[in-house]
Amino acid sequence: MAFHLLERNRTGAIDLSNVLHNAMEHIHHCKRCRTFTEDELCEICRHPEREASGLLCIVESPQDVLAIEQTLSYKGQYFVLMGHLSPIDGVGPEEIGLTELEGRLSAGGINEVILATNPTVEGEATAHYIAQLCASHNVDASRIAHGVPVGGELEYIDGNTLTHAFSGRRKL
C-alpha cells in the first residue's frame, strides 16, 4: 500500500494522512456508552426512543454495536466495555467501565440488561460478573441465545454449540 501511494497517488496519501489525523484528534469515547463518537454523546445515546425502551445491551467493542445495528432488530441503548474481564492481563472491572455501568444501573430507567458479550470463555465470565452486578441493583439481566447459526448444517457444528442448542430448545 505504501509503495502504491508513493508511486501513483501522492495527493491521495496526503488526504488520507489528514483524515487519519482528524479522526485521531476528534473521535473519542461517548460519555454515556463509551463507544467511539465525535460528539459528547453518540447518536444512539441521544435518541429519545432508545432511552425510553429501557433496554441496555452490553457489548465488548464498537464493532459489535455496528453488527447489532445492522440487524435493525434492536431498538435500545448500548454500553461498550471496550474489552472483557481478563485478570491475567490486568483488566479488572474498573478498566471495562463497570463503575460507570453501576452508576447507570442505580440511576434507574433500565428495565433489562441484555448481555451480548462474545460467546468465548472471557465473554461468558464477563457476562456472569455483570449479571451479578445487575442482580445487586435489582435489574433483570438476560444473555443472548447460544445455538446453531442460521443457514449452517448440524453435522459441521461443534459439540459445545450443539449441547447449548439442545439445552436451550424452545417449545413450539
Q: Does 137 bind a copy of itself (CB under 8 A)?
A: no
Pick 11 or 71: Cβ nearer a copy of itself: 71
Q: Does 14 bind a copy of itself (CB under 8 A)?
A: no
What's the first-to-final CA gap in the chain, in angstroms? 54
Which of the stretches 44-52, 83-91, 92-100, 148-156 binds a copy of itself when contact is defined by CB under 8 A? 148-156
C-alpha 35/C-alpha 45 separation (Å) is: 10
Q: Does 166 bind a copy of itself (CB under 8 A)?
A: yes
C-alpha 69/C-alpha 107 separation (Å) is: 25
Q: Does 147 bind a copy of itself (CB under 8 A)?
A: yes
Q: Does 131 bind a copy of itself (CB under 8 A)?
A: yes
Pick 93 or 119: Cβ nearer a copy of itself: 119
According to DSSP, residue 52 is labeled: H
C-alpha 21/C-alpha 118 separation (Å) is: 31
C-alpha 61/C-alpha 8 separation (Å) is: 36
Which of the stretches 22-30, 42-50, 78-86, 114-122 binds a copy of itself when contact is defined by CB under 8 A? 114-122
Q: Does 119 bind a copy of itself (CB under 8 A)?
A: yes
C-alpha 2/C-alpha 8 separation (Å) is: 10
* Contact positions vs a copy of itself (CB under 8 A): 59-61, 63-64, 66-68, 70-71, 73-74, 114-120, 131, 134, 140-172
